[in-house]
Amino acid sequence: MKVAKIPYLNAEPFYAGWGEDPPFEVVEMVPRKLGQAARDGVIDAGLMAVADFFTVDGTFDLVTPSMGVAAAEHVRSVVLLSHRRPRELYGARIGITGESSTSKRLLELLATAYWEIEPTWVPEAEIEGEPRETVDALLLIGDRALAAVADPEREGWSRTVDLAAEWWTWQALPFVFAVWVVRSAVARRERERFSGFLTGSLAVGVERIPEIAASRADTLGDAETLRAYLGHFTYRLGALEREGLARFRDLLAEHDIQEYEDARV
């Protein structure tokens, strides 16, 4: 079985028990590439961005018990760097990291239905020069977002907007960014073994959160800030997280926010 691994700090508690030789093949890729690899039949399991899971539902199943990356109230690692408040970005040029999948759709949903602005989306690969000088805002996720939040100067931007905080203010529900899934065609016994392995690894990871945070205490922030960051996530998804996931899916459909063919966005 081939399993995709997301190289972000917020996913590391899942990997604590994998060791040097886990009982499956590991491939490392950012969320956007993982979704495409799943659609292309390249991987059998992974921590998949929920926007991509919506497109492969039926060929991939959630692991049991449900696990993923969810946050209530704030997240710190999915941020819009901006020179203006969100509601002041009508007609603005907003740059989008090429790593994004779910976060791009969350941003578009907030822009359309909550902030009521109509920006122009600009793939980061098409931004020439310093982004803060050529676009009005920039979406960053994962460790790049953490580094920007940790920077006292906000990397030259005037403000940071936490997208999970905006979602919480709007919907009063946790936001689920990613879910662990396994291909439906994988034999049931193998899927059950993988789920059990992942559950055990997460148990180890939750206990080791202080160690994980300390090992990454550099440009991403100090050890205590990173420990609080990791401790804030919900990794075992319960009723509220499932409600938040369903609400996001319904709102994407209601506002006709679809999967983009351009893999850069």
CATH 3.40.190.10 domain residues, the chain: 2-72+174-254, 78-171
pLDDT in tens, 199-212: 999 999 999 999 99
- Nearest Cα neighbor of 92 from 154, 149, 137, 123 is 137
Pure H helices in the chain: 12-15, 31-39, 50-56, 102-109, 131-134, 142-150, 163-171, 188-207, 209-215, 223-232, 239-254
pLDDT in tens, 10-43: 999 999 999 989 999 999 998 888 989 999 999 9
Give ∠ CA 99-241-37 in degrees, rounded to 5: 30
Average pLDDT over residues 175-198: 96
How far apart are the C-alpha atoms of 101 and 51, rounded to whole Å?
6
Share of the chain above pLDDT 90, in %: 82
CATH homologous superfamily, domain 78-171: Periplasmic binding protein-like II (3.40.190.10)
| Phi, psi for 108 (deg, rounded to 5) | -65, -40
When pLDDT is cut at 50, 70 and 90, the band that residue 183 belongs to is very high
CB 213 within 8 A of CB 229: yes
Would you state the CATH architecture of domain 2-72+174-254? Answer: 3-Layer(aba) Sandwich (3.40)
In this predicted structure, what is the pLDDT of residue 261? 41
pLDDT in tens, 240-259: 999 999 999 999 999 999 75
How, if at all, do strands 25-28 and 60-62 pair?
unpaired
Q: pTM, whole model, 2 decimals?
A: 0.92
Mean pLDDT value across the chain: 93
Question: Is 90 exceeded by the pLDDT of residue 99?
Answer: no
